[in-house]
A and B are shown apart, each in its own frame.
Chain A
């Protein structure tokens, strides 16, 4: 269940310098964009736009105005010209708010807070591009999202929404993405922000989204600082979400093996994303905020 929007915005995350920085990032993004004032992000929907997209065979009932007569003159085949339909892009920010996202060294921003900041920045950029923005937090299941917001004037509403989100619950990605795809008929860009720490994996969920025609960007946040402190010796590792306990003798070699396993895990996620045509980006939480946002902005399809 989605929390009610907070009356106040979390100033620890979204203070005045932060707002100035995302304004600056928005300017940078605008320079990088090639299109004009509206609908600057083209959808994949074929419709009544002016940009040629493809040909298809004519079937009875089709509008004869779209027949390509030049092709017919050369080949005597009736082909119908198809144009990309330009429409407002819906950007869905699916934010993982499971317990694992809340882990961080003392005094540092955790993944969840960083994901809120990234979402805020990308939302501002999207709103600036007149895209529709929706914030969808999830853990075990996805809350039914509010309606999409459009226009920069809605930015503070988004900030209040982000400020109201709380961490809690385990992660269930397949269930979450299936529910999201079922509840959202309007296709668009799904920015899935999570650590993806789910033993069930990401594959099924992404297939749901792809099947429903969503363009997906997988933003994998990770925190390499958690094991930099060097906990060695006999340890009992407790899963923060499931409470499952594993006893081991932590050694430097084991830590190296963990890093290798994490890379393998990330590779699995990237492969899963690639299989469904989604973009994958892994960002460490220690990456400077501006760099992180622009990296996401570039690779996330926000520029079309």
Chain B
């Protein structure tokens, strides 16, 4: 193997080649042609006259000889350069087997239209706007073009999941075709998973190498570089120019939230967080669409789906919450889209984050047991909630064990409200207790305070949504004890907690107020507090079903036993659903609303969301930057240093041009 030759062996080979060349040149040296002349004496006379110019002629012949040697030497070196290489210029060809994984980021941000066009692809891109993935494709072609002779490639794309796009191959045509088929997904990048998979694929391979092509990502810094693997990176995307502020022409929907109206649960407030990545403030047009069965962007595009549109200014490189009130929640599925305003003269370069989807939670009917001597305020608040049916029972007849879990088939309630009752709640039942007696509950307080100033505790507990105690008065209130793990909701200024929620084991809420000792019952606060509390106790505190992370594996709780489920992803076919235990398992990189159909007609729908890290901003690349070889730069049409053999041939041509007139003097024209 030439690559294994030592220095002195290389020099010996070179010296041997030169000696052979000298021998050949000696054998092939120009021989004088004999010309018979009638009178040599005349030529002798001519030569005697020309003797004055002999010195110049001798120099010319010497120069000619040197030129011939130079030509021969340069030609020899040029021919041998690819074989033995020239010290300091280029090495001999690398014939040792090697394995390279072309690990390509196909996450959503790769669709951003700020790719740097290479010269070879300019003609193919009509409007000169190419995506980062387009740039990655061009750079990959360069990598393949500069492959070593015995180098084999494996094309792997990485987004939320990892996809092996080809087998190990050195066939450039196959590789280029594979690269052409790459598409940017809609999921975020899971680099750690990709890195681990690449390391597995390279285990036991000779000279492992990873060429990582990406626009970067926050996870890059934390990704461990596989040991023993050469890592080269190619960063795509246009970095910010020094002469202009950093920023990207992009608007994105970051989050969507829904808060049902306490007074009218069929309507609610929809909140949207819009991010502006530009370096200057922009007017963003936000469109809210809703359907009952939509899954894809196309399903939400009709005029029937359009709910409202609003244009708002978003500050430079900042995010802003926008609130849409009185949104009809009956459709259940929402899509939010943000665009530059119609008057905008710029174009959103990253379209993948312009939409967000949301699915409103379906409120199930609840059955409530009210244990009270009679409290009209409480009953009115329960009656105001249309999803509730309640059963009243007097404290005298109340038997907690009757409502125990064993009897729930006969006496089923979802939660219990205890009003000034000393008896304990049914075992295993979430409950709300007003004015607990001291001996009845561990949360019960030991003392009353008169005319407390009620203050809502800081925090974002679901019970406190929309709650206001301003101008609410109480003659007295019971100070509660706070066990470990409980959270204070309302506090009497300077005295202690008045309302406590605990989720240790069962969910339970204790409020140290007698509704007859306060004007709370006559205010709107009570039904809001009751609604929040009942939702929380029933586990339905979220108005939106939590979205699914694109590219990850999802496990959705569902009543799977005894039912057959099918799965349908946005715009896709219906397939049998994967079931594990009492959960439905799925994974997808399609952004939209995914749904599962149960054999009993049940439909579960969940929206997806982009990974929070999938932003279009560029990050620092991993490993050593990949540098295109000179031949590749030349193919781009950029000035590049020529390979040594070309320089040698060029010098040989120059020497030949010098030698040619001298040669003509010595040879017959």
Q: A interface vs B, CB < 8 Å?
A: 100-101, 103, 195, 197, 199, 223, 226, 230-242, 244, 246-251, 254, 257-258, 261-262, 264-265
A71 to B30, CA, bound (A): 83
A236 to B45, CA, bound (A): 16
- Establish whether residues A258 and B46, one from each chain, have CB atoms under 8 Å apart when the complex forms: yes
* A244 contacts across to B, CB distance below 8 A: 40
* B668 contacts across to A, CB distance below 8 A: 230-233
* A100 contacts across to B, CB distance below 8 A: 38-39
| Shortest Cβ distance from A235 into B: residue | B35
Instruction: Pick the residue among A232, A236, A265 that contacts B664 (CB under 8 A).
Output: A232
- Establish whether residues B38 and A226, one from each chain, have CB atoms under 8 Å apart when the complex forms: yes
Does B222 count as interface, using CB distance less than 8 angstroms?
Answer: no
Question: Can you report 10 residue pairs joining A to B where beta carbons are below 8 Å apart?
Answer: A232-B664, A232-B669, A235-B32, A236-B34, A237-B37, A241-B38, A246-B40, A248-B43, A257-B50, A261-B49
Q: Digit string of B13-56 for contact with A (CB within 8 Å is 1, else 0)?
A: 00000000000000000101111111111111111011000000
Most A-side CB within 10 Å, residue of B32, B40, B61: B40
Does B561 count as interface, using CB distance less than 8 angstroms?
Answer: no
Does B402 count as interface, using CB distance less than 8 angstroms?
Answer: no
Does B666 count as interface, using CB distance less than 8 angstroms?
Answer: yes
* B665 contacts across to A, CB distance below 8 A: 232-233, 249-251
- Establish whether residues B40 and A265, one from each chain, have CB atoms under 8 Å apart when the complex forms: no
* B666 contacts across to A, CB distance below 8 A: 232-234, 249-250
A100 to B37, CA, bound (A): 8
A266 to chain B, nearest CB (A): 10
- Establish whether residues B667 and A195, one from each chain, have CB atoms under 8 Å apart when the complex forms: no
Most B-side CB within 10 Å, residue of A230, A234, A264: A234
A-B contact count (CB 8 A): 102
Given contacts A236-B34, A246-B44, 12 further A-B contacts (CB under 8 A): A100-B39, A197-B38, A226-B37, A232-B664, A235-B35, A236-B32, A244-B40, A247-B32, A250-B665, A258-B43, A258-B46, A261-B45
Instruction: Pick the residue among A230, A235, A239 that contacts B33 (CB under 8 A).
Output: A235
A62 to B57, CA, bound (A): 73
Query: With A100-B39, A238-B37, A262-B42 in contact, is A232–B667 under 8 Å at CB?
Result: yes
* B32 contacts across to A, CB distance below 8 A: 234-236, 247
- Establish whether residues B38 and A199, one from each chain, have CB atoms under 8 Å apart when the complex forms: no
A249 to B669, CA, bound (A): 13
| Shortest Cβ distance from A230 into B: residue | B669
Query: With A233-B668, A265-B45 in contact, is A239–B34 under 8 Å at CB?
Result: no
* B30 contacts across to A, CB distance below 8 A: 233-234
A114 to chain B, nearest CB (A): 14
Report the interface size class on chain B: 20 to 34
- Establish whether residues B46 and A239, one from each chain, have CB atoms under 8 Å apart when the complex forms: no
- Establish whether residues A103 and B36, one from each chain, have CB atoms under 8 Å apart when the complex forms: yes
Secondary structure dominating the interface of B: helix
| Shortest Cβ distance from A100 into B: residue | B38
* B46 contacts across to A, CB distance below 8 A: 254, 257-258, 261
- Establish whether residues A239 and B45, one from each chain, have CB atoms under 8 Å apart when the complex forms: no
| Shortest Cβ distance from B664 into A: residue | A232
Most A-side CB within 10 Å, residue of B30, B32, B46, B663: B46
* A234 contacts across to B, CB distance below 8 A: 30, 32-33, 666-667
Q: Digit string of B377-407 for contact with A (CB within 8 Å is 1, else 0)?
A: 0000000000000000000000000000000
* B43 contacts across to A, CB distance below 8 A: 237, 246, 248, 258
| Shortest Cβ distance from A229 into B: residue | B668
Query: With A231-B668, A232-B669 in contact, is A261–B33 under 8 Å at CB?
Result: no
Instruction: Pick the residue among A239, A247, A254, A264 that contacts B39 (CB under 8 A).
Output: A239
- Establish whether residues B33 and A195, one from each chain, have CB atoms under 8 Å apart when the complex forms: no
B664 to chain A, nearest CB (A): 7
A250 to B33, CA, bound (A): 11
Interfacial residues of chain B within 440-481, with CB under 8 A of chain A in the complex: none
- Establish whether residues A257 and B49, one from each chain, have CB atoms under 8 Å apart when the complex forms: yes
A294 to B41, CA, bound (A): 31
Q: Digit string of B593-622 for contact with A (CB within 8 Å is 1, else 0)?
A: 000000000000000000000000000000
A223 to B61, CA, bound (A): 31
* B667 contacts across to A, CB distance below 8 A: 232-234
| Shortest Cβ distance from B57 into A: residue | A249
* B42 contacts across to A, CB distance below 8 A: 197, 258, 261-262, 265
Interfacial residues of chain B within 508-542, with CB under 8 A of chain A in the complex: none
A262 to B35, CA, bound (A): 18
Instruction: Pick the residue among A195, A249, A254, A261 that contacts B38 (CB under 8 A).
Output: A195
Query: With A257-B49, A258-B46, A261-B45 in contact, is A231–B33 under 8 Å at CB?
Result: yes
A39 to B40, CA, bound (A): 44
A181 to B41, CA, bound (A): 27
- Establish whether residues B61 and A249, one from each chain, have CB atoms under 8 Å apart when the complex forms: yes
| Shortest Cβ distance from A231 into B: residue | B35
| Shortest Cβ distance from A240 into B: residue | B36
B419 to chain A, nearest CB (A): 127
Which are the 7 A-B pairs with shortest beta-carbon distances?
Answer: A239-B40, A233-B666, A197-B39, A100-B38, A233-B667, A236-B32, A199-B41
